[in-house]
Amino acid sequence: SVGGLLLHPSPANDRVWLELPGQVPHGSALAVFAASGALMADAPVDVTGNGMWIDVRSLAPGLYVVTLANGQGRWQGRFAVAR
């Protein structure tokens, strides 16, 4: 299934808060894509709680898509970087 992720603030300057869709199973992966579709970052996600900060200082100003995926589904959200 595909669901939505909430990310804020948008536009972001140095980091963005990702609200997680409930309990995230071990082995979930997070990926950040530029509007062009280029993969900008990816990492496994092992967090407890309802969210996590994503450092966006290395990203150029523009629009981005975040995907969180595991064996149970895939979630996407969008955010912008502005400086």
- The per-residue b/e assignment along 54-67, b for 16 or more CB within 10 angstroms, e otherwise, is bebeebeeeebbbb
Rounded Cα distance between 47 and 44, Å, is 10
Q: What is the pLDDT along the chain (83 residues), one digit of tens a residue?
A: 457 899 999 999 999 999 887 777 778 899 999 999 999 999 888 776 788 899 999 999 999 999 999 888 889 999 999 98
The pLDDT value recorded for residue 25 is 73
The pLDDT value recorded for residue 1 is 47
pTM: 0.88
